[in-house]
Amino acid sequence: MLLQLRDDKEEICNPLMWNFFGGKIEDGESVYDCAVRELNEELCVSVDVDQFELLMTSGFESSGEVTLLKLLKPLSLREVELKEGCGLAFVSSASALKMNITLATRYFIEHIIVKEL
Segment 20-49, tens digit of pLDDT: 999 889 999 999 999 999 999 999 999 999
pLDDT, tens only, 54-107 = 998 888 766 678 889 999 999 999 999 999 999 999 999 999 999 999 988 998
Class of domain 2-116: alpha beta
Give the residue among 22, 20, 16, 4 at the shortest CA–CA distance from 88. Answer: 4
What pLDDT was estimated at residue 54? 93
Residues 107, 9: contact at Cβ < 8 Å?
Answer: no
SS3 content of the chain, % helix, strand, coil (to 5): 30, 25, 45
